[in-house]
């Protein structure tokens, strides 16, 4: 059944999870993602599922470890400080190769920071966060519909690769009400999980879900297998949106809310005769390295716009590899860059380039 | 003919535990109980962090290895997915009574239908004998070299007494494994705890006073005597919750 509703982003994520077949959700209150936890407390039981308000974010991620390790589609959600607490569990989930979905409705930091929107958990999501050599798939929606679609996709990717998938929203996307079309899929992806701890039923060999290997060679073999899997994800799952980059005066790299602002800037810049392109990574990891690198053939100037002090810009620079200048504009503290600020920065950068 | 058959639920392999350590006995007792209840195929265990971190290798049923202290949260996730399964955590004193106090208390408070086997040997074994939350007053460890001084390091935690205050906990008993008689009593308690779960009554925990001869710097025989003469003085054996429970 398909239906279009006016709904808060946080609630759209919850509905997406339920429609993706998630029946186990473990949460803990933190602003600005509370509507998601509230939604799950009401609608998960209605869907015949389990909602638990855990004693901490740490417990919640470990409940996910248990539920997903036992074969269920399981999810937890939080916001930045809570996601920091979950990092231990996230590393264990990576090590034990458990499919799980974690939603981060980002707020500003560091520390307790504030409750306003931010994109300053990029490093944490794509560069590790927890200990050890591991990767999470990180998806970056930029509107209500994408919150829905990418949350559904997160469960499929998690099951497909036995990986943790993070949905990287921000406080503004989570709080905003938008029209979202809930689409039930005709053929939901059903992945067999013969590895899960379900009880042997005396019908098969036992399953051990673990991330501990004391023997160095054994652990290196596990790591090599993980790296091979991550490489496969990099080959197959990169998603991005590219608009008007060919021959642009400047290409803005931005994701989520920042990309949305940039779309408006493109219009106002165009009115002033400046051609602005947009490169919008949808998968923050795997990062669209090739597509971003290829921008050097399409434009003379690149700029990353973020709600951070400059995080994704490092990956943009790595991909561009010095071929064209890569600039940065960002705001922190929960401030959102205005379209005028971005346009002014574009003019400043292009003026400098001309000199 | 062997006098006692090797339990079906226990792999027939050598463990890594030190001579005189109670872990091996506790494993065997759990396996015997699971055999006797006929629940091997529906049991899912949670391994802790500590000396028994890899005890999933020793049991024949499905298990998940959990982060330090988080076993009750992991067990909660498993049990809520498979409510018909028998789910138990196996945790030491550092795991359960220090880093994992929040998880154990809230699993009990929710009345999770899981069973916890709590191995209390008053010391951190795996990491070479540091002071545990259950280390006794005056006990020498590598991080209380002058003996635990309550004025400096505070007091040992009595987890059975604490958990028995929680409404969601229905059966709490402290047992010991220092001699055959007590091992048999411990087995009876562990069996009852699993039966409480089978009956769907709520949270159950058996605290097992255990030996750690290596880190106590004692011979196994002396370690067993120390449990009887010293540990049992502070940690009184008995049923703390569910005395009259019929299962």
Please report, for chain B, the start and end positions of each structural domain, with discontinuous segments joined by +. 23-241
* ipTM > 0.90, yes or no: yes
Query: Is A89 in the B-facing interface, judged by CB distances under 8 Å?
Result: yes
As a whole number of Å, the end-to-end CA separation of chain A is 58
Q: What percent of chain A has pLDDT over 90?
A: 95
| Pick among 3.20.20.100, 3.40.50.970, 3.40.640.10, 3.40.1190.20: CATH of B23-241 | 3.40.50.970
Task: Measure B40 CA to nearest chain A CA, in Å.
Answer: 7
For residue A70, what is the nearest residue in chain B, using CA coordinates?
B78
Cα dihedral A301, A307, A310, A316, rounded to 10, equals -50
> Which residues on chain B are in Cβ contact (under 8 Å) with A89?
67, 70
Residue ranges and CATH numbers for the domains of chain A are 2-236 (3.40.50.970), 241-354 (3.40.50.920)
- What pTM, to 2 d.p., does this model score? 0.97
In the predicted structure, residue A175 carries a pLDDT above the cut 70: yes
| Averaged pLDDT, B24-53 | 98
How far, in Å, CA of B71 to CA of B88, rounded? Answer: 9
Rounded-to-5 percentages of helix, strand, coil across chain B? 40, 20, 40
How far, in Å, CA of A334 to CA of A328, rounded? Answer: 17
What mean pLDDT, rounded, does chain A reach?
96
Chain A residues 19-38 with CB within 8 Å of chain B: 24, 26
Q: Which of A86-95, A223-232, B3-12, B195-204 has the lowest mean pLDDT?
A: B3-12
Angle, CA B141 vertex, CA B130 and CA A214 arms, to 5°: 35
pLDDT in tens, B90-140: 999 999 999 999 999 999 999 999 999 999 999 999 999 999 999 999 999
In the predicted structure, residue A28 carries a pLDDT above the cut 50: yes
How far, in Å, CA of B139 to CA of A100, rounded? Answer: 44
For residue B108, what is the nearest residue in chain A, using CA coordinates?
A55
Q: Residue B169: pLDDT band by 50, 70, 90 thresholds?
A: very high
Which of B11, B74, B82, B110 has the most A C-beta neighbours within 10 Å, making it the best mutation to test the interface with A? B74
Which of A21, A22, A52, A59 has the most B C-beta neighbours within 10 Å, making it the best mutation to test the interface with B? A59
The predicted pLDDT at position A36 comes to 98
Strand segments (E) across A93-157: 100-106, 137-139
pLDDT in tens, A100-131: 999 999 999 999 999 999 999 999 999 989 99
Using CA atoms, how far residue B82 sits from A197, A218, A280, B85, B108, in Å, is 10, 31, 41, 5, 18
Q: Residue B2: pLDDT band by 50, 70, 90 thresholds?
A: low
Using CA atoms, how far residue B30 sits from A201, B23, B55, in Å, is 18, 11, 12
Query: Is A67 in the B-facing interface, judged by CB distances under 8 Å?
Result: yes
Query: Is B78 in the A-facing interface, judged by CB distances under 8 Å?
Result: yes
Q: Which residues contact A38 (CB under 8 A, 6 or more apart)?
A: none
Q: Do B62 and A58 touch (CB under 8 A)?
A: no
> Which residues on chain A are in Cβ contact (under 8 Å) with B78?
66-67, 69-70, 197
The backbone torsions φ and ψ at residue A206, rounded to the nearest 5 degrees and listed phi first, read -70, 150
The predicted pLDDT at position A302 comes to 98
The predicted pLDDT at position A37 comes to 98
Instruction: Compare CB distances from B76 to A52, A89, A203 and report the shortest one's residue.
Output: A52
Q: Which residues contact A24 (CB under 8 A, 6 or more apart)?
A: A49, A50, A63, A64, A67, A68, A72, A73, A74, A75, B77, B80, B81
Order of all β-strands in the sheet with B238-241: A208-209, B62-65, B43-47, B86-92, B115-120, B203-209, B169-176, B238-241
Q: Which residues contact B170 (CB under 8 A, 6 or more apart)?
A: B111, B196, B201, B202, B203, B204, B241, B242, B245
How do beta strands A24-27 and B43-47 pair? unpaired
Radius of gyration of chain A (CA): 21
Q: Do A69 and B73 touch (CB under 8 A)?
A: no
Task: Measure B21 CA to nearest chain A CA, in Å.
Answer: 21
Q: Tell me how crowded residue B214 is: count the other CB atoms within 10 A of its CB.
A: 19
Q: Residue A355: pLDDT band by 50, 70, 90 thresholds?
A: very low
How far, in Å, CA of B104 to CA of A256, rounded? Answer: 39
The predicted pLDDT at position B163 comes to 98
């Amino acid at each position: 059944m398909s239906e279009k509703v006016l709904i808060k982003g946080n609630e759209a994520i919850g509905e997406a999870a339920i429609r993706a077949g998630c029946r186990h959700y473990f949460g803990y209150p933190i602003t600005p993602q509370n509507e998601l936890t509230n939604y799950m407390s009401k609608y998960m039981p209605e869907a015949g599922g389990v909602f638990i308000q855990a004693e901490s974010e740490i417990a919640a991620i470990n409940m996910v470890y248990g539920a997903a390790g036992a074969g269920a589609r399981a999810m937890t959600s939080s916001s930045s400080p809570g996601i920091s607490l979950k990092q231990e569990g996230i590393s264990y989930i990576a090590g034990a190769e458990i499919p799980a979905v974690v939603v981060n409705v980002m707020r500003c930091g560091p520390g307790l920071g504030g409750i306003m929107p931010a994109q300053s958990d990029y490093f944490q999501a794509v560069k590790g966060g927890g200990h050890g050599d591991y990767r999470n798939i990180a998806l970056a929606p930029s509107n209500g519909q994408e919150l829905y679609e990418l949350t559904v996709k997160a469960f499929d990717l998690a099951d497909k690769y036995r990986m943790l998938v993070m949905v990287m929203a921000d406080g503004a996307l989570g709080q905003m009400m938008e029209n979202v079309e809930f689409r039930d899929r005709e053929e939901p992806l059903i992945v067999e999980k013969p590895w899960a701890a379900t009880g042997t039923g005396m019908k098969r060999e036992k399953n051990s879900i673990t991330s501990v290997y004391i023997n160095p060679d054994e652990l290196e073999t596990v790591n090599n297998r993980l790296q091979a899997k991550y490489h496969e994800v990099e080959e197959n799952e990169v998603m991005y949106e590219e608009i008007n980059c060919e021959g642009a005066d400047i290409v803005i790299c931005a994701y989520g809310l920042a990309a949305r602002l940039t779309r408006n800037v493109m219009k106002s810049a165009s009115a002033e005769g400046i051609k602005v392109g947009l490169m919008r990574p949808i998968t923050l990891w795997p990062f669209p390295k090739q597509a971003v690198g290829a921008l050097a053939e399409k434009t003379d100037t690149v700029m990353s716009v973020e709600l951070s002090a400059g995080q994704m810009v490092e990956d943009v620079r790595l991909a561009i590899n010095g071929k064209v200048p890569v600039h940065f504009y960002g705001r922190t503290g929960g401030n959102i860059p205005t379209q005028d600020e971005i346009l002014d920065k574009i003019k400043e950068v292009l003026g400098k380039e001309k000199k | 003919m062997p006098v006692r058959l090797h339990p079906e639920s226990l792999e027939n392999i050598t463990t890594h535990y030190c001579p005189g350590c109670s872990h091996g006995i506790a494993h065997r007792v759990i396996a015997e109980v699971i055999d006797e209840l006929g629940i091997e195929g529906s049991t899912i265990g949670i391994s802790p962090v500590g000396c028994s971190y890899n005890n999933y290798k020793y049991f024949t049923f499905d298990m998940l290895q959990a982060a330090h202290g988080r076993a009750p949260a992991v067990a909660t996730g498993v049990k809520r997915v498979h409510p018909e399964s028998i789910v138990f955590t196996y945790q030491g004193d550092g795991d359960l009574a220090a880093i994992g106090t929040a998880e154990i208390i809230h699993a009990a408070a929710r009345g999770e239908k899981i069973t916890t086997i709590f191995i209390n040997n008053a010391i951190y074994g795996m990491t070479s004998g540091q002071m545990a939350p259950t280390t006794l007053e005056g006990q020498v460890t590598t991080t209380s070299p002058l003996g635990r001084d309550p004025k400096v390091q505070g007091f040992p935690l009595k987890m059975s007494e604490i958990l028995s205050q929680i409404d969601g906990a229905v059966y709490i008993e402290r047992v010991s494994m220092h001699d055959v008689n007590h091992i048999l009593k411990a087995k009876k308690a562990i069996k009852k705890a699993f039966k409480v779960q089978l009956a769907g009554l709520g949270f159950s925990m058996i605290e097992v006073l255990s030996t750690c001869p290596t880190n106590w710097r004692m011979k196994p025989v002396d370690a067993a005597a120390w449990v009887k003469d010293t540990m049992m003085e502070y940690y009184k054996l008995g049923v703390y919750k569910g005395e009259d429970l019929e299962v």
